[in-house]
Amino acid sequence: MTFEFPKSLDDLPISSPKWVGKPVNRVEDPQLVTGKTEFIDNITLPGMVHCAILHSPHAHARIKSIDMSRAAALLGVVATLTGEDAERWSRPMYTTPQGWGGYVLATDKVRFVGEPVAAVAATSRYIAEDALELIDVEYEPIDPIVDAFSAAQPGSPKVFEEHDDNIMYQRVFTWGEVDESFQKADHVYKESFRWNRVGANPLETFGVISEWDLVDDTLTCRGAFQTASFMAMGRAATFRLPSNKVRFIAQPHGGSFGGKGGGRGTDITLMLSRKAAGRPVKWIEDRMEYLSSGGSQAWDRHYEASIAVNDDGTVTALRVKLLDDMGATAEGFGATGAVKPMASFTGCYAIPNAEYDLTLVATNKLPASPYRGMGPPPHNFVLEQMMDIAARDLGLDPAEMRRRNFIPADQFPYIIASGNEYDSGEYEAALDKVLEMAGYEQLRREQEEARAQGRHVGIGVVSTIEPGVFDWNAYTVIGTQGIGIPEGVTVAIDTMGKITARVGFALEGQGQYTVVTQLLAEYFGVELEDVRVVLADNLSAPPNFGPGGSRLGVAITGAVLGAAQRLTEKLTKVAAKLFEVQPEDVELLDGMLRVKSVPESQLSVANAAAIMLNRSDMLPPDVDPSPQATFAWTAPGRVEPDEQGRVKSYLTAANACHLVMVEVDPDTGQVEILKYYIADDCGTRLNPANVEGMVQGAVAQGVGATLLEEYVYDDDGQLLTASFMDYLLPTIHEVPFPEKAALVTPSPFTPLGAKGAGESAIHTTPAAIMCAINDALLPLGVRAKEVPASPNRLWKLIQGASG
């Protein structure tokens, strides 16, 4: 059966939308703001013990011996665990690319500071941490490999002896006539850039309680899981257990942003539980553990880029060479971040030819994780700097430069050089909107005046794409086969007419439960209070994946509308029998099932459901007494990549245009954001307040990445930013609240025309701020090419200019 999804709000079975598209308050919030949401650390199970993990102090060392005897003898210690147990009971970690990882506890050697080496379970976390001090490990340090360029050299010492070198992946993707375009171009610009490690920092770190039932060999894990079903499947594979014996219960959690990996902590606690005769074992990752050994770090990148440009400013080709420092292993899907830029490689621009020269290298640092945006933010920073470099040289205003290269609004759907398809867009309209909001010409005059007074004021104007709704084929080029991402929901109406939606993803902060509630209340014409969204574990939920890749809003909309439609078909049959007409003669409108030609003959959805459940005599013969329906949504038309990695992977392309005005203090290198404007187009806004929250939060993370955040390793591979004293997250004082405008260009490909919007401004903010900084530095003749643009770095750069 093929489904016709409503293409817009007008196609919903209501006279005028009451909930969808409105900034309704989030249903999640009352629990959250009154402190009633149950996070993993709130849970205590009978007999529960507490895990603490011993982390490697060395970046690279052989483990000569581990002696757990003193730790095991401490009063209160219940179980201890080392790599030997992991070797005996589990398989090495799943990695992408494959074959670049070890066990969850180090066996032969440690490969990064923070790598788990041993673990204990004790009656309190305090005792468990005391026990860690009694573990005797003998290490034989090896020279650490910290610099990505040296690591990539032939003959470099190796992170994994079993590999020929440290190159995890290397490939050049060529799309179109790249060499020819560079030869023929009127101008060629080339520059190199550095994006230092940043990453996800959710309010809550990872946490888990694991139970290994020794009687029937079943696993139960409760935890802060972003993708519980996917995690469950992984555990079954890791421990060679039937997948239906692994139960994962996701708790509501305080954000993820890609940082809630948790594989190691889950497996370690499971094995400790096995050793502790099945007692539940809790592990709450503390912030220092998270920063040094969790899912906290991403995007450690060295770029070289060149563009071929004609005299009129049109860009004919883009070349990007990336050396991405993945850290010690390829666990945790960090490598996908280097591939995702292919989904929006040429940004908003109609650049017909492109090349991506991609190298992933292993070093003795923490393995890279995913981070909101999944990789394009640094790529966009590079592309947008190149656009500005060309504009400057050609004497074009940066806004005009972009205008001349935009994919025109009448060319959608548009397939970009790297193969992804953009669904729709109005890039010029978004630019115009921002320029108008900002009063661009006036701002440029203010900038001139400031410059005349010796102030260093700059403006950045950039446009970017947010690829939304990733799919199974997005990352197959680096070996992520087998990760399908249907998203399902079961919708049930009970005897009292109340509606329950059962989903497989936990509350994480984005507000998707609200979206589900809005959609169902709208579809069946009830109040928001009549709908409740409940979480099911992996064994009872419909197929699901959860949030990730800016997909859940769109995917769950498809699922809800599909399930609602299926349910309506059943209800329609009930009404048809009651009114003695054919089902085709009955329609749902404003919560009523009514006979099209006789609108007075109508039955409420609640009553139809109650009839189904309670009056078998009134059931049509082909309808079972179950006012429930399940639907799992997945995007159509997703096939394997071609030989150059080209693939329609991300279904939607949201667009944003940011304009930022900054001032650089040349004496201190400090950057102040003076003005900030955003026009954002993510298609139909299911809940504009949710979108606004996503944009604002992503601006914060963008500001952090551009000006403050950086994971710093010294030459010995020691992490120098293992606490929030040194890893600087932006606070409310550092984050601007931009003036925001919404444009709505619906997606022709998705239910209701919504686009992925969860990653949002992190795609744009770093590029925009860096363009503004470089505009400010222009009179000094220097250019900032490294992110974050810390005061010390900018000051040094400016010193170079005047000295």
> Which residue in this structure is represented by tokens 């003036």?
739
Residue 792 Cβ vs another protein, minimum distance, rounded to whole Å: 5
Of 130, 267, 466, 508, the one binding another protein (CB under 8 A) is 130
Half-sphere exposure of 136 (CA within 13 A, CB side): 6
Near another protein by CB under 8 A, which window of 238-246, 345-353, 515-523, 722-730?
A: 722-730
C-beta separation of 211 from 247 below 8 A: no
Q: For another protein, which is the closer residue by CB, 240 or 733?
A: 733
CB atoms within 10 A of CB 31: 13
Most distant pair of Cα atoms in the chain: their distance = 93
Q: Tell me how many degrees the CA angle 401-407-410 measures, rounded to the nearest 5.
A: 135
Of 5, 39, 414, 795, the one binding another protein (CB under 8 A) is 795
CA distance 726 to 296: 14
Q: For another protein, which is the closer residue by CB, 126 or 149?
A: 126
Q: Which two tokens stand for residue 170?
A: 């290397």
Residue 720 Cβ vs another protein, minimum distance, rounded to whole Å: 5
Of 708, 742, 778, 780, the one binding another protein (CB under 8 A) is 708
Assess 125 for contact with another protein (CB under 8 A).
yes
Of 177, 432, 692, 734, the one binding another protein (CB under 8 A) is 734
Residue 282 Cβ vs another protein, minimum distance, rounded to whole Å: 14
CA distance 21 to 515: 10
3-state DSSP percent of the chain in helix, strand and coil, to 5: 35, 25, 40
Assess 672 for contact with another protein (CB under 8 A).
no
Amino acid letter, 303: Y
Assess 728 for contact with another protein (CB under 8 A).
yes
User: How many residues contact another protein, by CB under 8 A?
Assistant: 29
What's the 3-state SS for 635-665?
CCCCCCCCCCCCCCCCCEEEEEEEEEEEEEC
Q: For another protein, which is the closer residue by CB, 28 or 709?
A: 709
Residue 666 Cβ vs another protein, minimum distance, rounded to whole Å: 10
Assess 624 for contact with another protein (CB under 8 A).
no
Q: Which of residues 288-327 bind another protein (CB under 8 A)?
A: 288
Assess 486 for contact with another protein (CB under 8 A).
no
**672 burial level (CB within 10 Å; 0-12, 13-18, 19+):** exposed
Q: For another protein, which is the closer residue by CB, 419 or 730?
A: 730
Residue 135 Cβ vs another protein, minimum distance, rounded to whole Å: 14
For CA atoms 623, 624, 625, 629, the dihedral sign is negative
Assess 255 for contact with another protein (CB under 8 A).
no
Listing DSSP states for 22-47 in one string gives: S-PPPTTHHHHHTT----GGG---TT
CA distance 620 to 530: 27
Q: For another protein, which is the closer residue by CB, 637 or 803?
A: 803
Q: Beta strands of 112-270 (E only): which ranges? A: 116-122, 136-141, 167-175, 187-195, 207-213, 218-223, 246-250
CA distance 353 to 173: 11
Residues in contact with another protein, shown as a per-residue x/- string from 744 to 783 under the rule CB under 8 A: ----------------------------------------
Assess 721 for contact with another protein (CB under 8 A).
yes
Q: Which two tokens stand for residue 459?
A: 């403006």
Residue 113 Cβ vs another protein, minimum distance, rounded to whole Å: 15
Assess 217 for contact with another protein (CB under 8 A).
no
Assess 522 for contact with another protein (CB under 8 A).
no
CA distance 280 to 275: 11
Assess 720 for contact with another protein (CB under 8 A).
yes
C-beta separation of 276 from 122 below 8 A: no
Residue 129 Cβ vs another protein, minimum distance, rounded to whole Å: 5
Assess 791 for contact with another protein (CB under 8 A).
yes
Q: For another protein, which is the closer residue by CB, 56 or 514?
A: 56
Q: For another protein, which is the closer residue by CB, 1 or 732?
A: 732
Of 287, 321, 451, 498, the one binding another protein (CB under 8 A) is 287
Of 250, 465, 790, 797, the one binding another protein (CB under 8 A) is 790
Q: Which two tokens stand for residue 113?
A: 């500071």
Listing DSSP states for 584-633 in one string gives: GGEEEETTEEEETTEEEEEEEHHHHHHHHHH-GGGS-TT--S--EEEEEE
Q: Which two tokens stand for residue 533?
A: 């969204």
Q: Which of residues 631-670 bind another protein (CB under 8 A)?
A: 667-670
Q: For another protein, which is the closer residue by CB, 85 or 130?
A: 130
Assess 619 for contact with another protein (CB under 8 A).
no
Assess 126 for contact with another protein (CB under 8 A).
yes
What residue ranges bind another protein (CB under 8 A)? 125-126, 129-130, 133, 286-288, 667-670, 708, 710, 712, 720-721, 723, 726, 728, 730-731, 733-734, 790-792, 795-796
